[in-house]
Amino acid sequence: METMLSASRALLACPLCRGGFLPGAADGGGLVCDAGHSFDAAKQGYINLLTGKGTVFESDSADMVAARHDFLSASHYRPLADALAEFAAAALTGAGGGAAGEASTAEGAPEAGPAILDAGTGTGHYLRAVLDRVPAAAVGLDISKFALRRAARLNPGAANLVADIWQPLPVRDAAVDVVMVVFAPRNAAEFARVLRPGGRLIVVTPRPGHLTEVAGTTGMLGIEPAKEERLAAGLAGHFTALPGREVDIALDLTPDDVVKLALMGPAGHHLDRASLQETRARLASRTAVTARFRISVFTPLEREQRPEPRPAGG
């Protein structure tokens, strides 16, 4: 475990000077970079690498994170986790033509072993599914401390970091074979920068019709499913698309499950908790709901084909 954690930490770059971190933990398990910038570890095991003001954001609250944890732990989305782990495993082992096989020759790659970044890792549920299939150095990054407390417990061999996806990521250039983004923001330039040549960006988005059976009753309406074209447009200039997959899951949910489902998504930020409980009381003992996802896979364009990177450390 300690070795895997060291391999995970070797993927990191200091958010202040972009230098690497010294091997071996600082006192209390924190990080110290070559230039002496130090970052403490929280007692729950994650490390806060957020510097400066960061983007204005609304971090997931404790009850949203708890709902996500409970719902995912009950394996409702198991088919999605399995499909995702299959795509990621292929790229991590080189079986899918990914970067792992050629990693040792990749310029600037700090580690030759398989490596993955989970951007917006949340409770670390999907990263766990991947690591159960292929042990790998891993970075789990999220802006919510509540989420990272869970992620650090679930994935103790990963570097679990508080960081903002919209800022330069605290990850070295060409360091990972896979960037995984499950219902989280996408920073195309930074994802391309941290991927090894031939690596894979794996993105999960909801498709039209996702959870429509309960969206209206629970106040989830208004979540516009991410359109495939919008996803591709946001990544254009940095990535080219590869074949992906659609995953549909027929769910049979109790009223408790439905409430958790409503709370764990973006609507959880503004849903009125009292009226959600009233809705819960009106629900049938079981509700049939269909979850509709798309797994999209991309590979980075060669560096010369991409726009000039922004100055580092900004």
Residue closer to Zn ion by CB (options 35, 233) is 35
Task: Tell me the backbone φ, ψ of residue 299, rounded to 5 degrees.
Answer: -125, 145
Quickly tell me which residue has 């009233």 as its tokens. 278
Q: Which stretch binds ligand SAM (CB under 6 A): 32-40, 99-107, 181-189, 243-251?
A: 181-189
Asked if residue 142 binds ligand SAM (CB under 6 A), the reply is: yes
User: Under a CB-based contact definition with an 8 Å cutoff, are residues 151 and 127 in contact?
Assistant: yes
In whole angstroms, the minimum distance from the beta carbon of 19 to Zn ion comes to 5
- Helix H segments across the chain? 2-9, 62-73, 78-93, 125-133, 145-154, 188-194, 212-218, 228-235, 255-264, 273-282
166: number of Cβ within 10 Å? 15
185 is a site residue for ligand SAM (CB under 6 A): yes
Q: Considering only the stretches 101-109, 121-129, 188-196, 289-297, report the one whose residues sit in contact with ligand SAM under the rule CB under 6 A.
A: 121-129
Indicate which single residue of 5, 13, 31, 33 sits in contact with Zn ion (rule: CB under 5 A): 33
To ligand SAM, the closest distance from the beta carbon of 233 in angstroms equals 19
Please report how the helices 273-282 and 255-264 are oriented relative to each other, as an axis angle in degrees rounded to 10.
Answer: 150
Determine if 182 is a binding residue for ligand SAM (CB under 6 A).
yes
Residue 32 within binding range of Zn ion, rule CB under 5 A? no
* Integer angstrom CA distances of residue 256 from 4, 218, 263: 37, 12, 11
Number of amino acids touching ligand SAM (CB under 6 A): 22
Q: Is 87 in the site for ligand SAM (CB under 6 A)?
A: no
Residues forming contacts to Zn ion in the complex (CB under 5 A) are: 14, 16-17, 19, 33, 35, 37
